[in-house]
Structure 1
Amino acid sequence: MVNLSANFAEHPKQTRNYDLFFLNQNPSSVESFKSMTNLITDSLGEIFATHEHPYEGGKPADLEARVRKLSLFTYDGERLENLLRDIDGPLLRSNLAITHEKAAAHLHCPPLMPALGAEMVINAFNQSMDSWDQSPAATYLENEMIRWLTGKFGYPAGSDGAFTSGGTQSNYTGLLLARDSFCWKKWGWNVQKQGLPPAFNRLRILCSEHAHFTVKKSAAQLGLGEEAVVPIKVNNHHRLDIDNLDKTLQELYKADLQPFALVATCGTTDFGSIDPMREMAGLAENHGLWLHVDAAVGGALVLSEQHNEKLAGIQLADSITVDFHKLFYQPVSCGAFLVKNHSSFRFLQHHADYLNPEEDEEEGITNLVNKSVQTTRRFDALKLFFSLRIVGTKRFGEMIDKPIHLAKEVAAHLERSADIHVIDKDPELNMVVFRYIPRMLWEEKHVDQLNRDIQQELYHSGKAVIAKTTVEGRTYLKFTLLNPRTTITDIKEIIADIDTIGKNKAGRLIQ
């Protein structure tokens, strides 16, 4: 093992020893990098091989105390072995093991091995995707990946997009373009130059009441305020109700308000429900609204042979959000924002002399900062590229389908329990929402507390990691199934633990 810090400390005045800290043409730097990666790989391998439970970090206060005891820096440096030994318990082994079969809480996926390999390449070159001179070949690969994606989603020639940090940034970008496009068409008002128009407080965004919270967050950041978002009631399948949408639009116009954007959700976070995108597209066209589809969750169905038809109508949207760090199994962060018309990006463009001067465009140089709200940005497209090449789209589709099929099997099993109420007996995607209601408990507040206690007990005991959520004011539990290796046997064991914990705690609540 090359001891980086000790080697440098021996020759502090010799600049060449910096080579041991940077990967470059010096053979010693390459050997040092190999030694470091081998040591870290061995450490991680040992940890993952012995991780019996999805979480082994203990209670929050105890874990915080152990982390706070760690030294944050050294003066003379130390060996990597010492550092890894120091953080083994409080950091590495106390992490959530997201690859564990019983980690089923959030839309937080186990990352594919090819993507982890791509991360090494991304980090080693450390290039930024804002300008061509910082990321020459990477610029063209990202463009090719975007071209492939827009084609898969059924967009026509002239469409475009950019990789993003995820759904939050993508949804924000979609609503920003929607706002500025509407203001220009309606009032000839350039928001980028002039700020918000005088009538900005009349602008409205419509979406399902189950839409992601980033719709409201984006409205606030865009200067419109959360009250500019008008939630539309959902039907029994938790999808936006078209009749209610039509009625609400008429009411808004009568109140002299200006709807400008309609957001369809393709895979809600709780139920995985998919709004009727084709019908929403028809209303959007009739009323001159920008249709944005938040397919952060459901966008992965583009690779599914069995469930692809659920994306019907998505190609009619003006813009699309898709995340790859969910059902595409990519490391955080990795997402994309797609637009039907490349010219929509004109509302983002700002030319900086040092970075993306106008003459670059005249010379045919591509600077991707012109398509992003970010400046410095990672080469995340490489992760998806590695994964698609090595895994293949056929197996990718099978990996996406498996959790969806498992969710249906889990819902059917839960339905057979006398003490469990399942909200959706035929889940659309990979989420199952349920509530543990033992017959001995009658008061809703006790049932709410019991379900919270069950979720916490499962987590801190290390038995399983599942989520809790709120439906109509009541506390529910949720399986978010993202791991293709998770089986019905794993989930049945969690359900058995839920029943045991539930019965024990219910008895105490009624005493």
Structure 2
Amino acid sequence: MNTPPLAGGTAGPDALAPLLAAVLDALRTGALDRGGPLPAGGPTTTARRVHTAAHPLLPDHGTGPDAALGPLVHALTQGAADPADPLCAAHLHAPPLALAAAADLAASVLNPSLDSWDQAPAASALEAELTRTLARETYPAADHPDALLTTGGTEANQLALLLARERHPTPLHLVHGANAHHSLPRAAWLLGLPATHPVPTPAGTLDPEALHHTLTRLTGHPLLVAATAGTTDSGAIDPLPALADVCAAHGADLHVDAAYGGPLLFSDHRKHALHGLDRAHSVTLDLHKLGWQPVAAGILAVHHTGRLDPLQHTADYLNSHDDTEAGLPDLLGRSLRTTRRPDAFKMAVTLRALGRDGLGALVDQVCDLAATLADKIHHHPALTLHARPALSTVLFRPTDADDDQVAAVRRTLLDDGHAVLGRARADGRLWLKATLLNPHTQPGDLDRMLKLVEGHTPR
């Protein structure tokens, strides 16, 4: 048996070339065979196709690369929910830029691991450049801001709670709006915090007066307030300056989950919506949403690098004291993970290639598109709009449908493979959710989406 070639080294590019050609061909034919944003037929049909392509998954004798790679990439693509399709609009699941995907290929080939400098010399230096840049973007007036890379908003939120917990000698209490991401109370549970205190958000955002009453009731306890800049259900942004004032008055720490809305910072037209963000002690960002990066691309930014001190950790084989004193960077305190991919690389390539104005233009494009969709729904005789969009998420429903019918419309579109819409509860009712993250979507695509919803609504 010949030893399979490696991706790296001087021979790697020659070994990759025919494999990449096979991958690109299968990506193309798989998307054509899918013919829409989602494979038709539901879970059973998709599982059957995957089984046919993969079986047997561990044969006694391998099939060779051609018989494995092409068919399985085709099956993966044919059975994908493709966020590059304009009618794939359910989740905060962005289509990655070709540039970022190409950069991620280079990172995969070189396979650096960000747990010690001798495994990732250039990658660790570039990560430091990226985290400094994003920390300064989040905290432009701070003296020593810093940031860490995470797998996404969930890990960033968990780290924020951990860092806040470690600052206090007595148990920390988490206060958050009912609109908060589910990862926050879950992180409190994982970290063994004594209690969480959800504050009702009947208007969709965290009310400063309601927060004041809750914090008054909890006087004497260490407190962390978690606000949201871009809720998952509707994209709503909490009133950050007023919430920061309340937190300051009560001596509470403030964390802002801006996993969705954070990239408004790149937009000259929309960054005002994040006024007050820099008053938070920590901020979650996530560039695999309004940053168009392949997963993972999460960030936790802090207003002062000293907030990260609780993460310091020593393993002699990775960051011995004498190596650190000799000038080798210590990477273990930059994450709770040990082995880490160089996720900074694709983000760095994207930031440099597009710049603030290019990223801001993409943000404006999808937010403007959401406003266009809201206008179309508002003037549609058979559809009801929930509210004007704050970001790029639009909630709507067939006017005369009940909740069971709304749910059935969504599932029928999924089963047919015609459109991928999300679901959200607001004002006591179920709504269809269109999360527009594809900057190539056109107004005609929105018309097609609404026509499909109307056509599948029971009369």
TM over 0.5: yes
- 1:384 is aligned to 347
Contact conserved, 1:235 with 1:241, CA < 8 A, in 2?
A: no
Q: After TM superposition, list the pairs within 5 Å mapping 1:29-40 onto structure 2.
A: 29-40=12-23
**Superposed displacement of residue 96, structure 1:** 1.1
- Residue number among 279, 283, 290 corresponding to 1:327 in the alignment: 290
- 2:144 is aligned to 158
Contact conserved, 2:26 with 2:70, CA < 8 A, in 1?
A: no
Q: Deviations over 1:66-122 (max 9, x none)?
A: 333422123332233322453366432111111011111100000001111111111
- 1:245 is aligned to 211
**Superposed displacement of residue 321, structure 1:** 0.6
Q: In percent, how many aligned pairs have the same letter?
A: 33
- 2:424 is aligned to 469
CA distance in 1 between counterparts of 2:324 and 2:279 reads 29
Q: After TM superposition, list the pairs within 5 Å mapping 1:335-484 onto structure 2.
A: 335-424=298-387, 426-438=388-400, 447-484=402-439
Q: Which consecutive residues of structure 1, in runs of 5 or more, have no partner in the other structure?
A: 1-8, 10-16, 184-196, 442-446, 507-511
- 1:265 is aligned to 228
Number of aligned residue pairs: 456
Q: Which consecutive residues of structure 2, in runs of 5 or more, have no partner in the other structure?
A: none
Q: Which amino acid aligns with 1:356?
A: N
Structure 1 segments, 4+ long, off by >6 Å, are none
Change (3 A) 1:122 1:88: closer
- 1:486 is aligned to 441
Q: Which amino acid aligns with 1:462?
A: G
Contact conserved, 1:57 with 1:93, CA < 8 A, in 2?
A: no
- Residue number among 102, 105, 120 corresponding to 1:135 in the alignment: 120
- 2:180 is aligned to 211
State the secondary structure of the residue aligned to 2:128.
helix
Greater shift after overlay, 291-300 or 351-360? 351-360
Contact conserved, 2:224 with 2:254, CA < 8 A, in 1?
A: yes
**Superposed displacement of residue 240, structure 1:** 0.8
Q: Which amino acid aligns with 1:448?
A: D
Q: Deviations over 1:29-49 (max 9, x none)?
A: 542221111221222133345
Q: Deviations over 1:386-433 (max 9, x none)?
A: 112223332221111111111112112112233322221x21101111
Contact conserved, 1:165 with 1:335, CA < 8 A, in 2?
A: yes
Contact conserved, 1:302 with 1:311, CA < 8 A, in 2?
A: yes
Q: Which amino acid aligns with 2:143?
A: A
State the secondary structure of the residue aligned to 1:497.
helix
Q: Which amino acid aligns with 1:249?
A: L
CA distance in 1 between counterparts of 2:418 and 2:9 reads 48
What's the RMSD between the two structures over aligned residues?
A: 1.9
State the secondary structure of the residue aligned to 2:218.
helix
Contact conserved, 1:57 with 1:95, CA < 8 A, in 2?
A: no
Larger Cα-atom Rg: 1
Q: Which amino acid aligns with 2:91?
A: H
Instruction: Confirm whether residue 308 of structure 1 aligns to residue 261 of structure 2.
Output: no
**Superposed displacement of residue 231, structure 1:** 1.5
- 1:75 is aligned to 60
**Superposed displacement of residue 359, structure 1:** 2.9
Q: Please, what TM-score do these two structures have when normalized by structure 1?
A: 0.85
Contact conserved, 1:182 with 1:260, CA < 8 A, in 2?
A: no
Greater shift after overlay, 390-399 or 135-144? 390-399
**Superposed displacement of residue 218, structure 1:** 0.4
CA distance in 2 between counterparts of 1:91 and 1:117 reads 19
- Residue number among 108, 117, 124 corresponding to 1:123 in the alignment: 108
CA distance in 2 between counterparts of 1:135 and 1:362 reads 19
Q: After TM superposition, list the pairs within 5 Å mapping 1:155-234 onto structure 2.
A: 155=140, 156-183=142-169, 200=171, 203-224=172-193, 228-234=195-201
Contact conserved, 1:215 with 1:229, CA < 8 A, in 2?
A: no
**Superposed displacement of residue 463, structure 1:** 1.6
